[in-house]
Amino acid sequence: MGGVQLSPDRPGFHFLSSTPPDLSRVLQRATHALRAQFFVAGALFATWGVHVPSIKAHYALGEQALAIAMLASGAGAVVALLQAGRVLARHAPRRVVPLMGLACVAAVGSLLLPSQYALLLALMLAYGMAAALFDVAINDEATSIEQACGRPLMSGFHGMFSLGGMAGAAAWSALAPLGVSPTGHLAGAAIVLGAVAAVASRFMLRQQREAQAGGTPLSLPHGPLVLLGLMAGLGLVGEGAMYDWSVLYLRQELTAAPAVASLGYASFSAAMAAGRFGGDWVRARMRPETLLRASGMLGAVGMALALAVPHPAGALVGFALVGLGFANVVPVLFSAAGQQPGIAPAHGIAAVSSVGYFGLMAGPPLIGFIAEARSLTAGLTVVIFFAMVVAAFARRALVGAR
């Protein structure tokens, strides 16, 4: 079977195809398949996010106990991310994604089945590990496709994640008034999304990965990857806050109806999807540091508006601005991480993710601890601060990455 070398700085990474000359058709199919996988990842995250109030009520949790459950997911993610570079050096995303997708849907679909808090922690740990490996694998494939096509594509892929988030949240908003139970929604979403991930995996790139002799080190950030990871972590706190706290904020602080509350996540995801689908066009015309700085400022303004206006409509507008602001933070930083000279994209992305996704997973528990001590409004103010830090350090992070 013939092989097509992807890039001279990616030794040992080859596309495999029975018809090597038809690379453009292979890439087209793989691009559509990968968009579906990003959609699945976003929809799963949203399905968990909109049911935070359901989980809180089902297990009779306070904010602190709920925050610890979220932290279990973060701990699982960090453990998996440290091994992600090693796993993807030996196994192509086409092999990793379907297995991790199955684990993700099984965990999310089971969240409301047990009644013991310890089992919830175990499910969240498993979900965090599987979701992290799934995420690095699809971002690794996105870097491969982007480099092979020779044009920006990363923002568009992440736009599908946001579109999936919007669809996942909107689905519950539509189903809740019809009397569908949270347990039924979780199970149904798991079945549908699991089927999509399994089918899409068949059309992902066939790659042969030849791990170097002597083993592959843990995916720990070093050099310019450290600052990229820290910036990704700060940016992902904003995303994590929307995933895990936006619905509860509308329900608890603003006493919105369940159908309205679930629109908080949907408005955020819709705006983020719009920003990401246009992000590749913007990235081709704007310097990365300028885009990153503007993103941080808009995210800070949006969260400040959401917290300052004590009405669901104000929160929905503010959450949408947060989504638009943070839309291209991760695509810009992950793209930079995946193009470091002498570093395989899987290692660069996993190293930045190991720090960045600590923000996604550990940020919401931090907000929960502050909410327990003071209020959820006070907890969410950390998003404003972190967004301003992203804006302030945008130039230094991306200049250091060159």
Domain contains 37: yes
- Over 70: is that where the pLDDT of 20 sits? no
Number of domains in the chain: 1
Domain contains 5: no
Instruction: Determine contact, residues 337/228, Cβ cutoff 8 Å.
Output: yes
Domain contains 7: no
What is the spatial order of strands in the sheet that 207-209 belongs to? 2-5, 13-17, 207-209
By three-state DSSP, how is residue 24 classified?
helix
Instruction: Determine contact, residues 175/295, Cβ cutoff 8 Å.
Output: no
Rounded Cα distance, 125 and 174, in Å: 29
- Over 50: is that where the pLDDT of 193 sits? yes
Domain contains 261: yes
- Over 70: is that where the pLDDT of 6 sits? no
Instruction: Determine contact, residues 105/48, Cβ cutoff 8 Å.
Output: no
Rounded Cα distance, 286 and 155, in Å: 14
Cα 303 from chain centroid (whole Å): 19
Rounded Cα distance, 90 and 216, in Å: 9
Name the pLDDT band for 8 (thresholds 50, 70, 90).
very low
The pLDDT tens digits for 294-341 are: 999 999 999 999 999 989 999 999 999 999 998 888 888 877 776 666
Q: What is the pTM of this model?
A: 0.73
Domain contains 4: no
**Nearest residue to 344 via CA among 144, 199, 71, 62:** 144
The domain that contains 192 carries what CATH number?
Answer: 1.20.1250.20
Average model confidence (pLDDT) for the chain? 82
Domain contains 246: yes
The pLDDT tens digits for 243-264 are: 778 888 898 888 888 778 878 8
**Nearest residue to 339 via CA among 142, 162, 193, 204:** 142
The pLDDT tens digits for 202-236 are: 999 887 766 544 445 555 566 677 888 888 888 88
Instruction: List the domain range (segments joined by +) for residue 379.
Output: 12-400
Domain contains 6: no
State the angle between helix axes of 93-109 and 63-90 in degrees (0 to 180), rounded to the nearest 10: 160
Domain contains 3: no
Write the DSSP string, 174-204: HHGGGT--HHHHHHHHHHHHHHHHHHHHTTS
The secondary structure of 309-346, three-state, reads: CCCHHHHHHHHHHHHHHHCCHHHHHHHHHCCCCCCCHH
